[in-house]
Amino acid sequence: MPRLLVVEDEFFVATYIECLLSDEGHEVIGPVGNLDTAKEIARDEAIDGALLDVNLGGARIDDVVDILTRRNVPFFFVTAYGRDNLPPGHQQAVVVYKPFNDTVLLREVRQLARVEVAT
């Protein structure tokens, strides 16, 4: 069962994503709504992938992205922000824009799982 970190500070969005992923058979780590906890989990936990909001209560997700990149953990962004607001060096990353379509989000999760299996 893939372990996916969900970093999202909007309670209803986080809960909804958690339900979608759980229904698809993924183990959800989180959802995590603050940067310090997200960094700790990204650094210390065994995770297979991550879904990341770009902004957590005014704090940018850049440090979490750096940790995941160093660990070769695949991720994508779930955000309402445009590409120009993504962390430096990640403007070409996969983005699922809020409000999102369930089919689009789950398609990207499945792709993420294939990337994880291939590495």
- CATH (domain of 108): 3.40.50.2300
Question: How is residue 56 written in tokens?
Answer: 């957590």
Place of tokens 């695949």: 74
Share of the chain above pLDDT 70, in %: 96
pLDDT tens digits for range 12-29: 999 999 999 999 999 999
pLDDT score for 118: 52
Please give the residue range of the domain that contains residue 43: 3-118
DSSP 26: P
Q: Which amino acid is at 27?
A: E
Instruction: Name 7's bridge partners.
Output: 32, 52
Which position has the token pair 């940790």?
A: 67
Q: Are 115 and 74 in contact (CB under 8 A)?
A: yes
Q: How far is CA 34 from CA 17, 39, 58, 64, 112, in A?
A: 16, 9, 10, 11, 23
Total-model pTM: 0.95
**pLDDT reported for residue 7:** 98
- Number of domains making up the chain: 1
